Amino acid sequence: MIYEGNSGLKNAYNQSYGLSWNYEKMFGGSKQFYNTLSFYYKPVANALTRGYRYDSATGVRTYKTYNVSGNRSIEANHNFFLYFGNKGQFVLSNILNGTWSNVGDYIGEDSAPVRQSVKNFFLSDRLGLQCQLGRQSITASVDLTRRNTSSSRAGFTSIHATNINYSLSGVFKLPCNFGLSTDLNLYTRRGYMDEMMNTTDFVWNAGVTYTAAKGALVFMLDGFDLLHQLNNVTYAVNAQGRTETYRNILPRYVLLHIQYRFNFMPKKAKSRFDNK
């Protein structure tokens, strides 16, 4: 790979125009309902993109950053939260988002890079239910994301993929100043052309805390991916429809950390406070 500079780059300007509506209602004492609806239009002037030129004879890609015009997105959101139960201990929530975007790129194969355009549509929905029983909390949720990516570029393969994440988590206060937090997650990805991206991962994380010195000293032991399900190499598709590879040096770990909390007030401030 070869990277070239570009001394003629201009500053990019991000703009955002929005309209939102909020509704709130309380009924039956502890029952509350929140509802929001919003729309946004976000154009970008002189957006920056890293294009490339591919030489099929040598297999070398030469990358260069360009300014591109025409980048814009339209976004719509609808969120609601419903608190219910005799003490409002249950919360039902839904977060819905739809985003359409047009993203410019510069690509050339055995020729100078020319402007290309990639269109993306994302539809995501998160449905959650939380239960707060005294000092104990349990949350269940389902996250769904649908992606459609297309382009008129020669050789571009359209993407019609679906990601679904299921999660169950809890935070519990135990006797003798101990605490426990844990979450179970099932991540599924389907519809990608590269089979390495069509994955199913079951991930379990957990943490234990112990509080001492009247809450001033906290010991925390956290474990991530206790079942060793995640790969240290992950793949993602960016806005231009290109597959990106990420390598995580620590795909799983156990971490012990200690937190000490204290309040310090300077003498001058303390004297002013005492004289009031």
Say what the pTM is.
0.81
Asked whether residue 269 carries a pLDDT value surpassing 60, the answer given is no
Q: How sure is the predictor about 233, in pLDDT bands with cuts at 50, 70 and 90? A: confident
Burial 185-218 (b: 16+ CB within 10 A, else e): bebebeebeeeebebebebebbbbbebeeeeeeb
Question: 138-176 pLDDT, tens per residue?
Answer: 999 999 999 999 988 877 889 999 999 999 999 999 999
Yes or no: say if 191 and 212 are a contact pair by the CB < 8 Å rule: no
Contacts of 10 (CB under 8 A, 6+ apart): 46, 67
Is the pLDDT reported for residue 273 higher than 60?
A: no
Write the secondary structure of 141-200 as one string of H (helix), E (strand) and C (coil): EEEEEEEEEEECCCCCCCEEEEEEEEEEEEEEECCCCEEEEEEEEEEEEECCCCHHHCCE
Are 48 and 63 contacting, i.e. CB atoms less than 8 angstroms apart? Answer: no
Contact 126, 142 (CB under 8 A): yes
Every domain of the chain and the residues it spans = 9-40+70-98+114-275
CB 250 within 8 Å of CB 128: no
- Say what the pLDDT of residue 249 is: 67
Q: Quick: pLDDT tens for 245-267.
A: 777 767 788 999 999 987 776 76
The CA distance from 205 to 255, in Å, is 12
pLDDT at position 271 is: 57
Between 240 and 100, name the one with better pLDDT.
100
Query: In the CATH hierarchy, which fold is given to the domain comprising 9-40+70-98+114-275?
Result: Porin (2.40.160)
- Give CA–CA dist 103/121, Å, rounded: 11
Provide the pLDDT confidence category of residue 275 given band limits of 50, 70 and 90: low
Q: For position 274, what pLDDT does the model report?
A: 60
pLDDT tens-digit map of 84-131? 988 888 999 999 999 999 999 888 888 888 888 899 999 999 999 999
Q: What's the rounded mean pLDDT across residues 233-246?
A: 75
